Amino acid sequence: MSIIKRVAKNTSSLLLSQIISYVFVFFGTMYTARYLGAGGYGILSTGIAITSIFAVIGDLGLGSLTVREVARNKSLTNKYVVNTTLIKSFLSIIMLVLIVITTEIINYSPEISNIIYILTLSIIFNTFSGVFGSIFQAYEKMEYVSIAGIIISILTFIGFIMAIYFNLGIVKFAFVYLIVSIINLVYLMAIFIWKFFLPKINGDWKFWKNNIKADLNFWKYLLMQALPLSIAIVFSVIIFKIDTILLSILKGSAVVGWYTVAYNILQALFIVPTAFTTSIFPLLSTFHISSKESLKLTYQKSFKYLTILGIPTAVGITLLADKIILLVYTQEFIPAIIALQILVWTVPFIFLTILFGAVVTSINRQNLLMKILFIVMIFNIILNLILIPQFSYIGSAIATVLSELVTFILFFKFLSNYVCRFSSRDAIFKTIIASGIMSLFIIYASINVLFVIPIAIIIYFVTLILLNTFSKDEIDLFRQIFEVKK
């Protein structure tokens, strides 16, 4: 299978999975927020934010390192699985202890504390699931990861609906995450044993002696290689979650609820760049060794396409934010409208910084990733501490947008110097024109928002085509992708 077809297959698989998953997450979140109210949903969101920050400790960048190295050398599969699993066992204990200490220091209420501890167990199971997910990604077998995502979303949705139907308390919603994480681990482990592990044993017990053992020297190598990446991931999670925690401490659970529902809509938009970069990351890692020109071309094309998707998304949601919030949530969440209108302007930057992070990691520049995200983290924390006391969740939203702008500038400057320099002015200019025409339709359309969105998308892409935004080679590429789906 050609590179283009492999990328298309994996991206399509992940996209389909994430779209299906998001449909269930969307309705699950909607009913949960309505049932719990802004205050209750804010409590659950606070627990998720706390555990998300510490979840990084359970992985420490080992997942991305495994993908990169196994993609380059498949013979390392069993060695990475065994040793990363053992390392993560110790890291999970450390994570659990740190979460308990932090929760006690902040002195959260017993209800929030119980939610945090239950979610921590869920995070631990997800940490081990990540071992197998990394192998599937390295082998470009995204269909297994895709099915896992669908299973998780469906089971979580069912769990939330049952909790609402039986009128259960907020703590039971945390148990839903725990149960689903256990099922997900069992599924991924079974697939790995079936597809990758058992065929290699062949009744040879020397296999166990040679492969199923801890290699302490290899542990040291892994941790040293993963350390910059793991620290970078910690900084990244703090950037995205510290605002929620600060809001919970300084402004209360209801404000967290408003802010989180806007953030949830925002996160749903990241399924496209996430699926795409997940699919191309193994290729980028291979191209760094085998073909620098292919690496440059992949980076340039990816930049263009993600720019074309990011800008109109921000424009459209800014204009439709009030309709979207009121369609999904109750009047209690009206304050989330302004938060969404501000936060959505992180989209054009995040679409590209997700790509930048994958490129930087693929070329073994974890140290740079760590340094950039450290700068942005400090900038973000300072902005939040300045803006939250005076502007509440609106201040957090502004801090998030400015932080992503700084991230974009720092990454783009480095990649322009060390990977390749290119001009994207033509694509950006045409994207802005097409977005402007699309926005005129949105402003003057007097039909239901569910009809406005697909029509606006069609208008946008038709305008791009009329402006000759895509070259003949790119059109041929799209045709090849289309052929995959036949």
The whole-number pLDDT of residue 2 equals 54
CA 18 to chain centre: 11
> Is residue 44 within 8 Å of 169, Cβ to Cβ?
no
Q: Comparing C-alpha atoms, which of 142, 121, 109 is closest to residue 16?
A: 142
State both tokens at 144: 């297994």
What pLDDT shows up at residue 221?
Answer: 79
Rounded CA gap, 107 and 117, in Å?
14
The answer to whether the predicted template modeling score (pTM) of the entire model surpasses 0.85 is no
Cα distance between residue 28 and residue 210, in whole Å: 46
User: For 306-363, what is the HEC assignment?
Assistant: HHHHHHHHHHHHHHHHHHHHHHHCCHHHCCHHHHHHHHHHHHHHHHHHHHHHHHHHHC
C-alpha distance across the termini of the chain, in Å: 15
For 399, half-sphere exposure in the C-beta direction (CA atoms, 13 angstrom radius) is: 30
The tokens for 72 are: 């380059």
Residue whose token pair is 């009030």: 322
What pLDDT score does 211 carry? Answer: 52
The contacts of residue 328 (CB under 8 Å, 6+ apart) are 26, 30, 261, 265
pLDDT tens, residue order, the chain (486 aa):
455 555 555 566 666 776 777 778 778 888 898 898 888 888 888 888 888 888 878 887 788 788 888 887 888 888 888 888 888 999 999 999 999 998 988 888 888 899 999 999 999 999 999 888 888 878 877 778 888 888 898 999 999 999 999 999 889 999 999 999 999 999 999 988 887 765 444 444 444 445 555 667 887 777 787 777 778 877 888 888 888 889 988 888 888 888 888 887 887 788 778 777 877 777 777 777 777 787 888 888 888 889 999 999 999 999 999 998 888 787 888 999 999 999 999 999 999 998 888 888 888 777 788 889 899 999 999 999 999 999 999 999 999 999 999 999 999 988 888 777 777 788 889 999 999 999 999 999 888 888 999 999 999 999 998 998 887 766 765 665 445 444
| 8 Å CB contact between 372 and 407 | yes
Cα(406)–Cα(398) distance, rounded to whole angstroms?
A: 13
Q: What is the pLDDT of residue 12?
A: 61
3-state helix, strand, coil in the chain (%, to 5): 90, 0, 10
Q: How far apart are CA 286 and CA 482, in angstroms?
A: 25
Q: Are 270 and 55 in contact (CB under 8 A)?
A: no
How far, in Å, CA of 197 to CA of 80, rounded?
12
Residue at token pair 């979303």: 153
Count CA within 13 A, CB hemisphere, residue 353: 20
325: nearest Cα among 270, 260, 232, 404:
260
Half-sphere exposure of 129 (CA within 13 A, CB side): 22
Residue 170: closest CA among 94, 99, 253: 253
